[in-house]
Chains A and B, each alone.
Chain A
Amino acid sequence: MMEEVKEVTPTLSVHADNIKVTEVLKEGDTLTFIIVSQKLSGTGEYHVDRTYDDFEWLQQHLFSQEDVPGIQGVIFPPLPAKAQVNASAKVMKQLGFLGLEEWQPYCKALENFLQQIAAHSILCKNKALEIFLTSSDPPGRQRVRKNIFNRLSQAVVEMRKESHKDVDEFFQTERDHNLVLTGCTKTATERFLDVVLTEQKIAVACGHFSAALQLCVEQGEDPDKQAFSKACVKLSEVFNSMMKNMTSVAENNVNTLGVGLDLESRYQEAEKEMLFRRTCKLVELETARRNAEKAKPVKKAAMEEVKKAAETEFDHICGVAKQEIAQFHGLRVKMLQQALVQWCEKQLLTAKEKADQFDQHLQAFRGMA
């Protein structure tokens, strides 16, 4: 019924940069996320609840926009792995930083996912995003038809296309660079996670020591015994402070640099996937050209058609890809800078607090009889 009306490109009816994942609720085995967004026109908010499956639904819709030229050249904002209540060790390892701190980093990652889609010039136009953010009913849970981007379905034999030599120096450089960065970032993220996990262990050990010291209080009026008991109690307080401080240090690490490295790592993977898609298209194009050349006159016209289609598609992809790459370079530097500045500021604050506390404890001890 709307066919008579000129088709208007759908636009998002909420502010892109204000989308928030405000809460996560545990309902049985499922995690439900509350998403709040601000209406563009007038005041007012949309509050919706979504599960991970809904996020996947959104992602699949974005992947399967075959009518958008060059869609395969888009670096899709990465969706984190599925979070579960009582997740297995394997899942927790895969989630890394996102699995810590009561899912707060995970919510932030989902938030970032939505914001990046909403801010993307091509992706924000997809109806699925509007439905996802504004519809009070959960979006349809039917599985979208298998899309061409599902990397998991690609046969191992496709992998060797990854190292296929490029025709364009710009892209060859980008592919090489991306390969190095992806590896480095993944390693750095994993190593940082080890640091944080050990910090948590230290916090626990301090807590245990603090508790045990409380048990060393000796009875009796003997002043030396009382002096010793007092020292034990005060030392217990010191180690309690140390536990709290170490917990803060670990939290800061997770919420700033940890999450930042994790996002960078997943974005590098997303770029890698885009470059791979393009490379696959390149291989397809080269194959089509060869086929057109070698084709017998009977088939020649058809092959030429295929070749032309492949060429057009490839050109579109390259065009979009170049833009995406330029934007991505700017975006990631900004993201990392934010992460590093926040990290430094938070740790500086925590360090100053700890120094103050130690100073107080020291004064108390010195003043102790």
Chain B
Amino acid sequence: MAASSDRNPPPFPATEEPGAGPSDMADGDSDEGEDIFSNPVAVSRGVSQPDRVNEEPPDLFSEEEEASSTPAKSNGVHSDEDNDLFAEAHVELSTDKPGSSDRKELSSSSGLRPASSFTQSPAAMQPTSLEQLEEDEAKDSFDVDVAVTNPEKVGDGMNAYVAYKVSTRTSLPMFRSKAFTVRRRYSDFLGLYEKLSVKQSLLGCIIPPPPEKSVVGMTKVKVGMDDPSSVEFVERRRAALERYLQRVVSHPSLLQDPDVREFLEREELPRAVSTQALSGAGFLKMINKASDAVNKMTIKMNESDTWFEDKFQEVENEEQQLRKLHALVDSLVNHRKELCGNTAVFAKSMAMLGNSEDNTALSRALSQLAEVEDKMEQLHQEQAASDFFIFEELLADYIRLLGAMRGCFDQRMRAWQRWQEAQSTLQKKREAEAKLLWANKPDKLQQAKDEITEWEARVTQYERDFDRVGMTVRKEVLRFEKEKAKDFKSQIIKYLEAMLQSQQRLIKFWEAFLPEAKAIA
């Protein structure tokens, strides 16, 4: 099963299964609890922070330093400016550290977890074990960095498309080389998603969804890539594709998938054709169809573990809230764009006024004013872009991810259903055997016995699958929540940094204008 390969790293110091700690284990099978600790989940960093530190303890070193050393991320605000494509995109995985000593430490430290409040990090109570684990991780860490850049229009007319440069830098031995580049088009990304979805459908992973198709957007681009709305569309898509890939490679199981490797490495990729169906609403439709199928199930699942029920509810609530936030940010972005327009028009009117003015000093001041306003328009544009790329897209990503998470829960339901159906088939086979015994048909009897054996094996298999899916879903949910907290925090920091820079430039504009205003006589 993809989720627990032997490359899985140790859970992070006391924090890997924070919520999944004893308090949750108490609800479910004790077996499950144990399984989680013996199959430590991958530590996957978010798509943003290069820090390898355990998030909670504020007193632990690099959180602050690394955050400040990270310049604005290239996922949308300053796209092609960075010479080093990988300055920000940075994902780390650590190797497995088997050993009962680690496990014991984990058990004990996670035992402390529920008792401690959030701010008082339990890790602080056990500095030695943490530092030791971090050192271990530092030794074994390696990375995969992915960047999507250089959108180029290929071809002409309605058959034209945009090709992106996908660059990978890695030290993982499973790749052919350490750094390589391929060219991919949007349908290739969609194709990858389809392949992953099909393969992982019974496994319970959260598969990050790529950005939606947009007929309107693409048609404009096919016509010409120069006008501002096309430029914006392409940039938005490029950034979204980059985040998509970063999420895929930061997922330990997905990274193992040969399709992912092929996507990153192979020179020429066979054209993905079935992506026609994945239109704008296609993803959500797919997920909703699955949900409907689950709802129509005749055998209702008897949820022995309320954890899943509760989580599902939380996911639904959260999705709603994020949608609301998304709409509000969208409104804010639109107002900012409006302000850009108004400011530009105002600047022009002041320039005209300055030109018509007799008094030289006043005329000059008014012309300067017009220039200040022009510069402010630039600032407003940047702020609108910040709002959009940092928050609006972030919220959109997470709304899609939550949808994908709902898909996971459905996968678990389907696994359960398959198990139940196998059990009922087995029952029928046994009844059939009993009947044959009565009817005394020895040749058919052997066949019946074989079938029973076969179905017994299946029942066992499906039960194991169900348990495994459940475990994977739990791990995925916890990983998701961790990623989400980090992602949001790092994006907020990025936003504040951008705002601060913007404000400082504004201050300079005003300071330059003041003497001009005072010089009017």
Contacts and interface: CB of A to CB of B under 8 A. Distances in A.
B interface secondary structure, majority: helix
B334 to A, nearest CB: 9
A224 B510 contact: no
A351 B484 contact: no
A177 B496 contact: no
B325 interface: yes
Contacts of A345: 514
B346 A192 contact: yes
Interface string A199-235: 1011001101100110110101111111110111011
B511 A348 contact: yes
B500 A355 contact: yes
B503 A351 contact: yes
Contacts of B436: none
Contacts of A222: 18-19, 481
A343 B365 CA distance: 13
Given A333-B359, A341-B518, A369-B56, A184 B18 contact: no
Contacts of A351: 503, 506-507, 510
Contact of B56 (A177, A223, A231, A358): A223
B328 A208 contact: yes
B114 interface: yes
B175 interface: no
Contact of A341 (B113, B346, B482, B517): B517
Contacts of B64: 366-367
Contact of A369 (B119, B478, B482): B119
Contact of B358 (A177, A205, A347, A359): A177
A368 B49 CA distance: 14
A195 interface: yes
Given A231-B489, A368-B58, A333 B500 contact: no
Interface residues of B, number: 72
Interface in A342-369: 343-345, 347-348, 351-352, 354-355, 358-359, 361-362, 365-369
Interface string B477-521: 010011011101100110011011001101100110110011011
B396 interface: no
B150 interface: no
A202 B332 contact: yes
B55 interface: yes
A17 interface: no
Interface residues of A, number: 63
A191 B492 contact: no
Given A187-B352, A224-B484, A368 B489 contact: yes
A133 B391 CA distance: 57
B110 to A, nearest CB: 11
Contact of B342 (A198, A227, A355): A198
A248 B511 CA distance: 18
Contacts of A199: 339
B325 A205 contact: no
Given A223-B19, A345-B514, A195 B321 contact: no
A344 B510 contact: yes
B362 A337 contact: yes
A366 B493 CA distance: 7
Given A188-B353, A202-B339, A213-B325, A344 B493 contact: no
A353 B276 CA distance: 52
A37 B517 CA distance: 31
A97 to B, nearest CB: 13
Contacts of B521: 333, 337
Contacts of A208: 328, 331
B362 A336 contact: yes
Contact of A227 (B489, B507, B518): B489
Interface in A49-101: none
Contacts of B518: 337, 341
A214 to B, nearest CB: 11
Contacts of A223: 15, 18-19, 55-56, 113, 118
B478 A224 contact: yes
A90 to B, nearest CB: 21
Contact of B514 (A230, A344, A369): A344
Contacts of A213: 325
- When A and B form their complex, which 6 residue pairs have the shortest distance between CB atoms, in order from nearest? A222-B19, A227-B485, A337-B520, A226-B118, A340-B517, A348-B510
Given A180-B356, A227-B489, A369-B58, 8 more contacts: A209-B329, A337-B521, A344-B513, A344-B517, A358-B503, A362-B493, A366-B63, A369-B119
30 contacts: A177-B356, A177-B358, A184-B353, A188-B350, A195-B339, A199-B339, A205-B328, A208-B328, A209-B328, A212-B321, A212-B325, A216-B321, A218-B318, A221-B19, A221-B117, A222-B18, A223-B15, A223-B113, A227-B55, A228-B485, A238-B492, A329-B358, A340-B517, A341-B517, A341-B518, A348-B511, A352-B507, A361-B496, A366-B63, A366-B64
